[in-house]
A and B are shown apart, each in its own frame.
Chain A
């Protein structure tokens, strides 16, 4: 179910390249199930990426981000071994976070 995340954070020159795959249904609230019942909206609204106290990326999403969202970005000023934390929150109040070491 929702909550799992796979992160790759790799130092390339001055940059740290981050690729994140989050497990989430990203339901729009517009689809119907086989019985014709509307499937309630369920999507990630807010994503943050931090290294220590520093926010390196912050996102606000709607339901149009694809199921099991993918996000990639690059930032400077981190070293190998630094901890990168990705956290999300969805419209139903669920949250998840995963921390990984930059390699």
Chain B
């Protein structure tokens, strides 16, 4: 475990492990990585496991409302579905989170990004797109979900198959 936040966490972890004994050791290790951050942005495991778009929306907190205040930049045609550049900028006030979904992937949810205060409501990454379908940007702003979508045509799928 070389990515600890520092000595304090290491000490904390060791003490927890000592107290709790071996059975809870795994939990303690999980908790020590980065402790405060995990508490703020818990992983929505159900959303990542969902196999359809609507189920993913449901696991994220309900079907988002369409919005023209989200700029989603995706290629119209992707020659290689394994590497599709995606960029999202939200103009919605109070943007807290940005999520990327690929409609027809085995698991539509690709990832989520927490936007703290003083970080721009912008994120750019690259995702796999298994076949021609819509890419969704879902934005959580002031506790509500909004979305926009673009179609990307894929000439070579993203699953290496």
Check B3–A95 contact: CB distance below 8 A.
Answer: yes
Check B126–A60 contact: CB distance below 8 A.
Answer: no
Count the A residues whose beta carbon is within 8 Å of the partner chain — how many? Answer: 36
In the assembled complex, B48 has its CB within 8 A of some CB on chain A: yes
- From A58, A71, A87, residue with most partner B Cβ within 10 Å: A58
Check B84–A66 contact: CB distance below 8 A.
Answer: yes
Bound complex: CA of A72 vs CA of B118, how far in Å?
A: 15
Check A64–B113 contact: CB distance below 8 A.
Answer: no
A interface, by DSSP: helix, strand, loop or mixed?
strand
Bound complex: CA of A76 vs CA of B38, how far in Å?
A: 22
Mark B79-107 against chain A: 1 for CB-CB distance below 8 A, else 0: 00011110000000000000000100111
Distance (whole angstroms) from the CB of B70 to the closest CB of chain A: 16
In the assembled complex, B120 has its CB within 8 A of some CB on chain A: yes
Check B33–A95 contact: CB distance below 8 A.
Answer: yes
- Our pick among A46, A66, A72 for the contact of B128 (Cβ within 8 Å) is A66
Check A65–B122 contact: CB distance below 8 A.
Answer: no
Query: CB-CB < 8 A to B109: which residues of A?
Result: 62, 64
Check A62–B48 contact: CB distance below 8 A.
Answer: yes
Contact residues on B (Cβ < 8 Å of other chain), bracket: 35 or more
In the assembled complex, B160 has its CB within 8 A of some CB on chain A: yes
Known pairs A60-B44, A72-B125, A74-B120; A48 contacts B37 (CB<8 A)? yes
Check B34–A57 contact: CB distance below 8 A.
Answer: no
Check A58–B113 contact: CB distance below 8 A.
Answer: yes
CB-CB contacts below 8 Å: B123-149 with A: 123-128
Check B2–A64 contact: CB distance below 8 A.
Answer: no
In the assembled complex, B15 has its CB within 8 A of some CB on chain A: no
Check B2–A66 contact: CB distance below 8 A.
Answer: no
- Our pick among B41, B110, B118 for the contact of A65 (Cβ within 8 Å) is B110
Bound complex: CA of A75 vs CA of B115, how far in Å?
A: 9
Check A55–B127 contact: CB distance below 8 A.
Answer: no
Identify the closest chain A residue to B89 (Cβ): A74
Check A73–B2 contact: CB distance below 8 A.
Answer: no
In the assembled complex, A23 has its CB within 8 A of some CB on chain B: no
Known pairs A31-B161, A66-B82; A59 contacts B126 (CB<8 A)? no
Give 6 new A-B contacts, CB below 8 A, not counting A57-B123, A67-B82.
Answer: A31-B161, A61-B112, A62-B109, A65-B125, A73-B119, A97-B3
Could you list 8 A-B pairs, sorted by A, with CB under 8 Å?
A: A45-B43, A57-B116, A61-B112, A66-B83, A70-B125, A87-B34, A95-B1, A96-B3
